[in-house]
């Protein structure tokens, strides 16, 4: 596989204000997977699942010609989230089996060794757990795999800044949204945040601003990339995960920071246009994405 996504996949049981309900594949891993799939067929998600996962979502993987070989059965039950939408647009998520069950199915650093050896790009959605990162970063030294780290929101705290910088210094790319960045640095103004991130000297930092687009930061440049115009936002869930996956894809392919950011906006627009991920990512969707990106190298 060329790309590897390391994050949870879950079942979302979505309850709408009109009392209707649907079940759909969810979780950061599934959104990042879709974000990359729009540009490349050669992508696996690597995480723990339950014995029930294939019966629940195997048809979706087959419809999108996605391998399930990176999914490792670790429990009888897969992570399951109750997602309730309210008339005012707010939502509430509740893990049916609790946080401990969720974390027990996460991929360990040791399990990623073989994937780091094979992949050209790896997306990791994670906090700062030393037990995970120590083994990942040690193994990464022996490979040429580019790692994109999207920091988990609960890790973006001022007291974690040095630990975050230490991890970020050992990977190629870092993704964070503006709210998380303000919490991490303890400052409000955008200019200070951009300047601080630029001083990290990373190959690429993806500073996400939601509907306002993103700031692509390298040592040499700071590039503003707008979000896609004329997008009807049905559900913003997964926009950050899908866009970060797409930016990793652009980085591995050698595109400019601007094109990487544009790819992120296009993948996010695809994933927020409905509740849950698209039922099927088609050849026509990829061709349209390439036209919007401004290159024909799909």
Supply 25's token pair.
């594949």
Is residue 266 within 8 A of residue 38, CB to CB? The reply is yes
In order of start, what are the domains of the chain with their CATH numbers? Answer: 3-293 (3.40.1190.20)
Given this model, what pLDDT does residue 241 score? Answer: 97
Given this model, what pLDDT does residue 36 score? Answer: 98
Average pLDDT of adjacent 10-residue blocks, the chain of 298 residues: 96 91 93 98 97 96 97 96 86 89 94 96 97 97 97 97 98 98 97 97 97 95 93 89 98 97 97 92 95 71
Is residue 194 within 8 A of residue 222, CB to CB? The reply is yes
* Cα–Cα distance for residue pair 233/273, rounded to 1 Å: 5
Given this model, what pLDDT does residue 90 score? Answer: 81
* Cα–Cα distance for residue pair 264/52, rounded to 1 Å: 32
Residues in the chain: 298
Nearest-CA neighbor of 156 among 134, 174, 181? 181
Neighbour count for residue 56 (Cβ, 10 Å): 17
Given this model, what pLDDT does residue 261 score? Answer: 97
Given this model, what pLDDT does residue 295 score? Answer: 60
How would you classify residue 226: left for phi > 0, otherwise alpha for psi between -120 and 50, otherwise beta? beta
* Cα–Cα distance for residue pair 241/125, rounded to 1 Å: 8
Given this model, what pLDDT does residue 229 score? Answer: 87
Given this model, what pLDDT does residue 230 score? Answer: 82
**Sign of the torsion formed by the C-alpha atoms of 123, 125, 127 and 133:** negative
Given this model, what pLDDT does residue 41 score? Answer: 96
Given this model, what pLDDT does residue 89 score? Answer: 75
Helix boundaries (H) for the chain: 28-37, 53-63, 98-104, 113-118, 130-140, 161-168, 178-185, 190-198, 239-253, 257-271, 283-293
Q: What is the DSSP letter of 270?
A: H
Given this model, what pLDDT does residue 236 score? Answer: 87
Given this model, what pLDDT does residue 91 score? Answer: 81
């Amino acid at each position: 596989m060329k790309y590897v996504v390391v994050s949870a996949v879950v079942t979302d049981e979505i309850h709408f204000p009109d009392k209707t309900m649907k079940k759909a594949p969810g979780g950061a891993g599934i959104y990042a997977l879709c974000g990359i799939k729009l540009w490349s067929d050669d992508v696996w998600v690597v995480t723990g699942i339950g014995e029930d996962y294939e019966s629940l979502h195997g048809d979706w993987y087959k419809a999108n010609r996605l391998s399930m070989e990176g999914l490792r059965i670790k429990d009888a039950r897969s992570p399951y989230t109750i997602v309730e939408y309210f008339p005012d647009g707010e939502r509430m998520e509740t893990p049916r089996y609790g946080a401990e069950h969720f974390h027990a199915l996460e991929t360990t650093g040791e399990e990623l060794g073989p994937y780091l050896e094979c992949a050209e790009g790896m997306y990791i959605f994670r906090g700062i757990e030393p037990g995970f990162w120590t083994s990942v970063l040690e193994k990464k030294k022996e490979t040429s795999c580019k790692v994109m780290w999207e920091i988990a929101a609960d890790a973006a705290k001022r007291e974690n800044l040095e630990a975050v910088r230490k991890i970020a210094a050992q990977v190629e790319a870092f993704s964070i949204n503006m709210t998380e960045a303000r919490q991490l640095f303890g400052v409000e103004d955008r200019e200070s945040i951009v300047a601080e991130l630029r001083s990290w000297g990373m190959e690429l930092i993806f500073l996400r601003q939601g509907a306002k687009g993103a700031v692509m930061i390298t040592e040499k440049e700071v590039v503003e990339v707008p979000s896609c115009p004329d997008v009807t936002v049905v559900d913003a869930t997964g926009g950050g995960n899908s866009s970060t996956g797409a930016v990793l894809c652009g980085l591995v392919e050698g595109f400019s920071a601007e094109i990487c950011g544009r790819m992120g906006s296009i993948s996010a627009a695809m994933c927020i246009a409905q509740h849950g991920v698209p039922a099927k990512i088609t050849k026509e969707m990829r061709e349209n994405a390439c036209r919007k990106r401004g290159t024909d190298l799909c």
